[in-house]
Structure 1
Amino acid sequence: MASSTSVCNSVVQDRIFHAEAAPRCKKLVWNAYREELPVRSLLLAKGIIENDTCPCCGKGNETTMHALLQCEEVKTIWFGSPLGLRVETMHDINTVSEWIHECVALLDKRAMGIVCVIMWALWHRRNVWVLRQKKLGFPEVMAKACSMFFPDEWIPPLYPHVKANFSAFVQDNVGTAMGVVYRDSTGAPLASATNFMEKECFEVEIAEALCYRWALERAGELCFCDVIFETDCQELYSHWNEIMKEKGNIETCYLDSLLEDCRIMLRWTRSSLTLVGWGGNKVARNIALEAFVYGERVWTEDVMDEASHFVLADATNLQNQI
């Protein structure tokens, strides 16, 4: 039985971590599955607190099931979500673990991603109330959830936009390599480029920010307007959103300074930065890896041979969706 349970848990973990959601959301769902979230019933059992009443509704005991599915306001959010879930119809489900098990068995990675981001947003809502006594409504919870959902496949931009996927890699004592590919609404490459900063090694977020600024500069040189820049770096994307809200400390942080440069470059355009999963950024990642070999180079209306089959795979995927 222990071996069977181990295999089952392994499959559940694999399905959760392949969902189209930010890593922090998938980690929370995995912790919820293992009943490891610090809900009040768990804290009471450990002798840390003396009362396990739900801090949000004040009516039931705060178990993982109650916090993420059964609290009355939580039920309303699930029903209003894209899943349209009616929690009250889940008669045979007694724990969150059982429900997550059902989800991974029935849902694809996109729908499972929606589950992950909503569960994360609900837990965030709960913590905001506990720590700051601020109640987040349905629009705020869903906006938070949407900010954590991102596809794991490349999606073409709407005409006449251009999509620029970029990525950076840092190899200790070697340098920082960068790659970018610009594609139109049909998925056809308009240009691609590599860059290599020899002996200059940065933290991941700095390298990605430098790559973002470099990709913006190349887009200007190539006369591309209305560009959707896309990254798979969650840290860069989160920090970018803070900069766009003008919350960054531009005077003291190099990362903020780099992103402020990017913000200024985008000021008079309709360009933007979006987040995508690793699978949706594989062309740029492959190009960036090859930058260690190619150095600084630009391909017009093409990509290097080493990345061509990834472009073809994205194009094939698009055709299959039509």
Structure 2
Amino acid sequence: MASGQVINLDKSMLSVSRNVLDNSFNELKQLLGVKAVESFDKYLGLPTIIGKSKSQIFNFVKDRVWKKLKGWKEKFLSRAGIEVLIKYVAQAIQFYVMSCFVLPDKLCAEIDAMIANFFWGGDATRRGLHWVKWSTMCRHKNDGGLGFRDFKSFNLSLPNGGWNIPLLELVFAPNTVKHILEVPLPMFQGEDCLFWPYTMNGKYSCKSGYKLLQVLTHEDAPSSSRAVTLPPPLWKFFWRTDALPRCKELAWRVIKGVLPVRHSLRVRGVDSDDVCPFYSSEPETSDHVLVRFPAVQPLWFASPLAVRVDQFSSMLELVIAFLSMAEEEHITVFQTWVYALWEARNSQVFDSIHVRMERLLQRVAGLCAAPRPGPAPVVRDQRRLASSRSRPRQGTSKVNLDASYREGEGATYDMVVQNHLGEVLAAAASHPTPAMSALLAEAQGLRWAMVMARELGFMTVCLETDCLQVFNAWNGSSGGSSYLDHIVADCHRLVSQFHSVSISFVRRSGNAVADYLARHASSFLGVVWLEEVPNEVLPLVDSDVLTSMPSST
């Protein structure tokens, strides 16, 4: 297969419609070499075929709840203890099924009745005395209830069924519908609230308000510089380099198309000739001076960067390519080299001094070694941010997770589960889902991985994420009301459904397998592997096993 995946014939089965002829069925079975079954029962705990009787198909949900209730000894629990068990265990174990299917109303009513009977002291043989009707108990505590879930309403309000997409498309414009679907809905019921979406904690700040006004103002204002510029992530990378401020400022002017070359001065009304003083066949533009001028192209190739600038049509194209592929120290040299070239041009134009290659290299080296202004750099706690390759303790499953986000396309999540020996127990990749940002995609990926781990039966887990912001949000106690806070709150509530959960931050180099699956998400959409991974990931798994240290006991 193009993705490198191999079909496990021992775990594969064939099922066909009754309309398929026996001869065709036998030929297909022989061709594929897999077992034939009359019908598939379940996959990942979910029914694969929904017949006419949905109540019968989904009756296993009711059995799960009853098995959980039957195992508790309510006579040893206070009423408040029973309330907690019902809310955070009995009413949560069927979330995964309800997030994929709308259960029959009759089944929801039977589960409600079963839980209500347990709360009032009843069991399978006798009915307890119900002092308050269930609909009242399902009201919020502020409204006189106990905050239990009404299963029918909860099922209809889950994220997969929360948005009425046909109605949204009828009422709103397509672009508005897209943004609505990106809103990360919570898994658990809660009160709606207002929050400021432009800060991490959902609270308004003067700084965030100013930034928003700047964005709105610049969106409406015409730009006098070139229309094409860098995307925000590249700008962030551009400004964080260690180059001198003057070098970065000049490189910024080059990108914005405001370098005072002859053509730009002529366009702005300065009475001057716009022809290149050294190459009279072309006007002197920024691209001409720094990229297309025949004498400058060998200088780029002989520089520490060794760049063939003749392959680029403009300086902006060269900058974008460099920022997208090069390391930070190379970007520092790049910005400094552009500054040195501009200095050499000015020396030639205004002082008639020709700067030789040796002098250029010395100038770049001097600028790179010059003292930097401002405060001393912050030294990070390397122990906390170390590339962790530790294995979990025996009996604990390590779950490495990652997310891939592309603006306008949404996000995909993936996870890899390993035991204390480094052996792969399971791996999974999600289908694309709407997401508002890369950060929220990482948080939603954590929530998705917890749900998947629980459904696959891993109840004692150590989760590892390479997103430091999500890790800090998990450990924080901001009590905010932002989208991130609500997703992390869901994750904390999911903890009660495990035997034990911990979360650690790991650098990307220590999260290689999950990172690979995230970067190649389009090849693995909606796939679950049990005790195996794609062939191309095996070297990463082997490397992880060889370089990881067993956990100390």
User: TM-score if structure 2 supplies the norm length?
Assistant: 0.31
Deviations 1:193-234 (A, max 9, x none): 001225x23312210111001100111111112200001111
Judged with a 3 Å threshold, the aligned counterparts in structure 2 of structure 1 residues 3 and 210 are, in CA distance, closer, same or farther, namely: same
Aligned-partner residue type, residue 448 of structure 2: W
Q: Which residue of 1 aligns with 2:488?
A: 259
When the two chains are superposed, the root-mean-square deviation of aligned CA atoms in Å is: 3.2
Q: Which residue of 1 aligns with 2:411?
A: 176
Equivalences for 1:252-291 in 2 at 5 Å? Answer: 252-267=481-496, 269-291=499-521
Judged with a 3 Å threshold, the aligned counterparts in structure 2 of structure 1 residues 36 and 257 are, in CA distance, closer, same or farther, namely: same
Structure-1 separation of matches of 2:388 and 2:381: 17
Q: Which residue of 1 aligns with 2:390?
A: 155
Equivalences for 1:128-207 in 2 at 5 Å? Answer: 149-198=384-433, 200-207=434-441
Q: Is contact 1:162–1:183 with CA below 8 Å preserved after alignment?
A: yes
How far the C-alpha of 1:7 sits from its partner, in A, is: 7.0
Deviations 1:126-163 (A, max 9, x none): xxxxxxxxxxxxxxxxxxx8697132142211111111
Q: Which residue of 1 aligns with 2:473?
A: 239
Q: Is contact 2:443–2:488 with CA below 8 Å preserved after alignment?
A: yes
How far the C-alpha of 1:258 sits from its partner, in A, is: 0.7
How far the C-alpha of 1:299 sits from its partner, in A, is: 0.2
Structure-1 separation of matches of 2:426 and 2:435: 26
**Following TM superposition, where does structure 1 have runs of at least 4 consecutive aligned residues deviating by more than 6 angstroms?**
1-11, 145-148
Structure-2 separation of matches of 1:319 and 1:6: 43
Q: Which residue of 1 aligns with 2:332?
A: none
Aligned-partner residue type, residue 151 of structure 1: A
Structure-1 separation of matches of 2:426 and 2:410: 24
Q: Is contact 1:231–1:276 with CA below 8 Å preserved after alignment?
A: yes
Q: Is contact 1:165–1:284 with CA below 8 Å preserved after alignment?
A: yes
Aligned-partner residue type, residue 492 of structure 2: R
1:222 aligns to 2:452 (yes or no): no
How far the C-alpha of 1:306 sits from its partner, in A, is: 2.8
Q: Is contact 2:398–2:463 with CA below 8 Å preserved after alignment?
A: yes
With 149-158 and 185-194 compared, the bigger mean Cα shift is at 149-158
Q: Which of 375, 379, 391 in structure 2 is aligned with 1:37?
A: 375
Structure-2 separation of matches of 1:164 and 1:215: 8
How far the C-alpha of 1:188 sits from its partner, in A, is: 0.6
Q: Identity of paired residues, percent?
A: 26
Equivalences for 1:11-22 in 2 at 5 Å? Answer: none
Q: Which residue of 1 aligns with 2:544?
A: 314
Judged with a 3 Å threshold, the aligned counterparts in structure 2 of structure 1 residues 38 and 146 are, in CA distance, closer, same or farther, namely: closer
For residue 223 of structure 1, give the secondary structure of its aligned residue in structure 2: coil
Q: Is contact 1:181–1:284 with CA below 8 Å preserved after alignment?
A: yes
Structure-1 separation of matches of 2:362 and 2:503: 44
Judged with a 3 Å threshold, the aligned counterparts in structure 2 of structure 1 residues 282 and 38 are, in CA distance, closer, same or farther, namely: closer
Aligned-partner residue type, residue 152 of structure 1: S
Q: Which residue of 2 aligns with 1:210?
A: 444
How far the C-alpha of 1:172 sits from its partner, in A, is: 2.2
How far the C-alpha of 1:256 sits from its partner, in A, is: 0.6
Q: Is contact 2:399–2:416 with CA below 8 Å preserved after alignment?
A: yes
Q: Could you say which structure has the greater relative contact order, defined with CA pairs below 8 angstroms and 6 or more residues apart?
A: 1
How far the C-alpha of 1:237 sits from its partner, in A, is: 0.9
Aligned-partner residue type, residue 494 of structure 2: M
Q: Which has the higher helix share?
A: 1
Structure-2 separation of matches of 1:259 and 1:281: 21
The alignment of Structure 1 onto Structure 2 pairs a total of residues equal to 188
Q: Which of the two has higher C-alpha Rg? A: 2
How far the C-alpha of 1:290 sits from its partner, in A, is: 2.6
How far the C-alpha of 1:283 sits from its partner, in A, is: 0.7
Aligned-partner residue type, residue 207 of structure 1: A
Judged with a 3 Å threshold, the aligned counterparts in structure 2 of structure 1 residues 220 and 2 are, in CA distance, closer, same or farther, namely: same
Q: Is contact 2:401–2:514 with CA below 8 Å preserved after alignment?
A: yes
How far the C-alpha of 1:167 sits from its partner, in A, is: 0.3
Q: Which residue of 2 aligns with 1:293?
A: 523
Structure-2 separation of matches of 1:8 and 1:225: 58
Q: Which residue of 2 aligns with 1:130?
A: none
Q: Is contact 2:391–2:549 with CA below 8 Å preserved after alignment?
A: no
How far the C-alpha of 1:2 sits from its partner, in A, is: 10
Q: Which residue of 2 aligns with 1:304?
A: 534
Aligned-partner residue type, residue 256 of structure 1: D
Aligned-partner residue type, residue 386 of structure 2: P
Judged with a 3 Å threshold, the aligned counterparts in structure 2 of structure 1 residues 5 and 240 are, in CA distance, closer, same or farther, namely: farther
Judged with a 3 Å threshold, the aligned counterparts in structure 2 of structure 1 residues 35 and 223 are, in CA distance, closer, same or farther, namely: same
How far the C-alpha of 1:35 sits from its partner, in A, is: 6.5
For residue 499 of structure 2, give the secondary structure of its aligned residue in structure 1: coil
Structure-1 separation of matches of 2:464 and 2:405: 19
Judged with a 3 Å threshold, the aligned counterparts in structure 2 of structure 1 residues 284 and 8 are, in CA distance, closer, same or farther, namely: farther
